């Protein structure tokens, strides 16, 4: 396990880097041949096809973890990622054997103007390749290959996660009350928030303390994001489910399981994948391999990217301004909670859905209010709900504290602030005078001052002469 001193600074940066043209990318090709009839019968527009070709998803070599070459280390899916690592000077063939410290140090050692972009790309690509090779070959060494006492871990039982579709408006049947109702957790432990922890880390900790528990982890994406139909590792904070779990194998067979394109499936409901293996630990610690990899379920939902927020001048910038947007969020969360409860999950771990990550920007406190409202409906069926995040954008100022307060107490949306109306402006407009006008104005003012001084001096002389008739004549005149 690598200490925090080896952690590169970009693992904690508030940046979501985008891969430039020709960068080492991380988009892996996917061919229609590997998807069988599900791909042939799907209707795709020319723009989607062009975007797929640009992302390298369509090709002649096929796209599947089933095909192996060079002892399973270089299959069609990993060819681009391995070539990117080779261009960066890393010629390893078996990335399961690369120590975690080597990954961190080699990524942090990148220098140059583009190092801030290339370092996270290299690290995430290396982690992804090692995880994909472990899923492909069915084994790895924990905690790492060269560590004293390293053991060979068999992960072949994670080879086939299965995905299914839950459609909107068709909630799974729940018996009320259940025949053997589970003991509900205490109110303080039912709905909690954990800061600085990724949902996968929370799930790993729960399964380490109580092996055999059934835990579901929720992930989300924008409905308009074209990356939903391709595997891309752009930055370590984007989506770790492809870097640390066997979810990539489920993704390759997802359209075949659903008999529907992924984009259409997300628009019509959610995708529930069971039997996903959690193979690696925290990325900040080098993504060390786990000796006893647990199984989790992954729930994938799609949400609108940019709903309308309240006006900042009214103090409502962290709340939904339109009740229809909040209702849409509650509906998709309700479907996610219902699917987890129907599968018998004992805990549901979810991030702040749509809050300043994954190409979405939802109001944080509005999302917190929706999570609490939906969670209370399923308190009888889900003993524990945990909201966690390690995304840097969620910890600016008091953002996380305010989010946790709404989740914990259900604080309602406040009344809008009263804005003071602007003062009326005068009906005339001041204009700048020319130099000639200014000179004339000064002459007039100087002449008026001289006349006023002469009049004052005359009055003083008359009063001092003690001639009342002249004083009365002056005052009357």
pLDDT digits (tens, 9 = 90+) for 153-191: 999 888 789 999 999 888 787 755 444 444 444 444 899
Confidence at residue 82, expressed as pLDDT on a 0 to 100 scale: 84
Confidence at residue 219, expressed as pLDDT on a 0 to 100 scale: 95
Average pLDDT of span 246-271: 92
Indicate the range of 81-85, 350-354, 390-394 predicted with least confidence: 81-85
Per DSSP bridges, beta strands 191-195 and 385-389 are parallel
Alpha carbon distance 191, 114 (integer Å): 42
Confidence at residue 196, expressed as pLDDT on a 0 to 100 scale: 93
Per DSSP bridges, beta strands 385-389 and 139-142 are unpaired
Average pLDDT of span 195-224: 93
Mind listing the pLDDT tens digit for each residue in 277-297? Answer: 999 999 888 889 999 999 999
Strands, E, within 60-173: which ranges?
139-142, 151-154, 162-167
List the one residue out of 399, 334, 362 whose CA is nearest residue 222: 362
Confidence at residue 321, expressed as pLDDT on a 0 to 100 scale: 92
List the one residue out of 149, 148, 145 whose CA is nearest residue 99: 145
Average pLDDT of span 407-426: 84
Beta bridge partners of 385: 191, 348
Ramachandran angles phi, psi of 365, nearest 5°: -70, -30
Q: Helix, strand, or coil here: 403?
A: helix
Confidence at residue 14, expressed as pLDDT on a 0 to 100 scale: 47
**Residue 244 reports pLDDT greater than 80:** yes
Phi-psi region for residue 72, left (φ > 0), alpha (ψ -120 to 50) or beta? left
Q: Where is pLDDT greater, at 439 or 44?
A: 439
Alpha carbon distance 80, 433 (integer Å): 71
Given a contact cutoff of 8 angstroms between Cβ atoms, the answer to whether 285 and 97 are in contact is: no
Query: What are the counts of helices (DSSP H) followed by strands (DSSP E) for the chain?
Result: 16, 9
Given a contact cutoff of 8 angstroms between Cβ atoms, the answer to whether 277 and 295 are in contact is: yes
Average pLDDT of span 321-326: 94
Confidence at residue 354, expressed as pLDDT on a 0 to 100 scale: 93
Angle, alpha carbons 75-76-82 (nearest 5°):
70
DSSP 425: P
Mind listing the pLDDT tens digit for each residue in 133-153? Answer: 998 889 999 998 988 989 999
CA-to-CA dists, residue 402 to 305, 326, 411, angstroms:
22, 18, 10
Peptide bond into 177 cis (omega under 30): yes
Alpha carbon distance 207, 191 (integer Å): 18
Beta bridge partners of 139: 154
Confidence at residue 40, expressed as pLDDT on a 0 to 100 scale: 40
Indicate the range of 105-114, 123-132, 460-469 predicted with least confidence: 105-114
Residue 370: partners with Cβ closer than 8 Å, 6 or more residues away: 326, 329, 330, 333
Neighbours of 92 (CB within 10 A): 16
Strands, E, within 214-268: which ranges?
215-222
Q: Where is pLDDT greater, at 215 or 178?
A: 215
Alpha carbon distance 308, 19 (integer Å): 29
Mind listing the pLDDT tens digit for each residue in 28-61? Answer: 333 333 333 333 444 444 433 333 333 444 332 2
Q: Where is pLDDT greater, at 239 or 253?
A: 253
Confidence at residue 1, expressed as pLDDT on a 0 to 100 scale: 42
Token pair 């190092």: residue: 115
Q: What percent of the chain has pLDDT over 70?
A: 73
Indicate the range of 58-72, 198-212, 337-351 predicted with least confidence: 58-72
Helix (H) or strand (E) holding 270: strand 269-277
Ramachandran angles phi, psi of 444, nearest 5°: -65, -45
Q: Band of the pLDDT at 315, cuts 50, 70, 90?
A: confident
Alpha carbon distance 402, 368 (integer Å): 9
Confidence at residue 220, expressed as pLDDT on a 0 to 100 scale: 94
Per DSSP bridges, beta strands 295-303 and 269-277 are antiparallel
Confidence at residue 458, expressed as pLDDT on a 0 to 100 scale: 79
Q: Where is pLDDT greater, at 446 or 22?
A: 446
Average pLDDT of span 313-339: 93
Alpha carbon distance 105, 196 (integer Å): 23
Helices (H), 323-434: 323-342, 364-377, 399-409
Helices (H), 64-184: 79-87, 100-108, 115-137
């Amino acid at each position: 396990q690598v200490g925090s001193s080896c952690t590169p600074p970009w693992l904690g940066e508030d940046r979501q880097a985008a891969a430039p043209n020709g960068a080492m990318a991380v988009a892996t090709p996917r061919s229609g041949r590997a998807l069988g009839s599900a791909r042939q019968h799907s209707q795709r527009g020319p723009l989607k096809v062009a975007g797929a070709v640009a992302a390298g998803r369509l090709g002649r070599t096929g796209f599947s973890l089933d095909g192996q070459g060079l002892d399973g280390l270089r299959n069609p899916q990993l060819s681009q990622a391995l070539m990117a690592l080779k261009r960066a000077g890393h010629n390893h063939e078996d990335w399961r054997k690369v120590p975690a410290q080597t990954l961190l140090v080699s990524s942090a050692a990148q220098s140059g103007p583009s190092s801030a972009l290339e370092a996270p790309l290299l690290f995430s690509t290396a982690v992804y390749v090692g995880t994909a090779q472990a899923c492909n070959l069915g084994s790895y060494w924990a905690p790492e290959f060269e560590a004293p006492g390293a053991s060979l871990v068999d992960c072949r039982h994670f080879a086939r996660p299965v995905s299914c579709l839950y459609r909107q408006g068709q909630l799974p049947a729940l018996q009320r009350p259940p025949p053997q109702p589970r003991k509900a957790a205490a109110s303080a432990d039912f709905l909690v928030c954990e800061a600085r922890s990724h949902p996968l880390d929370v799930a790993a900790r729960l399964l380490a303390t109580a092996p055999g528990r059934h835990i579901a982890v929720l992930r989300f994406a924008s409905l308009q994001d074209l990356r939903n139909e391709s595997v891309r590792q752009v930055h370590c904070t984007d989506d770790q489910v492809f870097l640390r779990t066997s979810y990539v194998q489920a993704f390759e067979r997802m359209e075949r399981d659903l008999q529907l394109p992924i984009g259409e499936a997300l628009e019509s409901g959610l995708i529930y994948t069971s039997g996903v293996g959690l193979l690696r630990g925290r990325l900040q610690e080098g993504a060390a391999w786990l000796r006893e990899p647990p199984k989790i379920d992954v729930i994938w939902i799609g949400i609108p990217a940019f709903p309308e927020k309240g006006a900042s001048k009214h103090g409502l910038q962290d709340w939904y301004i339109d009740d229809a947007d909040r209702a849409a969020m509650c509906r998709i969360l309700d479907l996610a909670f219902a699917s987890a409860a129907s599968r018998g999950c004992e805990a549901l771990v979810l991030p702040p859905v749509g809050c300043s990550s994954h190409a979405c920007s939802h109001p944080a406190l509005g999302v917190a209010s929706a999570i609490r409202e939906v969670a209370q409906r399923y308190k009888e069926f889900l003993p524990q709900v945990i909201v966690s995040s390690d995304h840097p954008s969620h910890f600016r100022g008091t953002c996380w504290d305010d989010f946790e307060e709404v989740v914990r107490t259900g604080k309602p949306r406040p009344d809008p602030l009263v804005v003071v109306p602007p003062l009326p402006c005068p009906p005339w407009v001041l204009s700048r005078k020319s130099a000639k006008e200014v000179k004339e104005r000064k002459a007039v003012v100087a002449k008026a001052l001289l006349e006023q001084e002469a009049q004052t001096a005359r009055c003083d002389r008359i009063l001092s002469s003690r001639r009342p008739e002249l004083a009365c004549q002056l005052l009357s005149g």
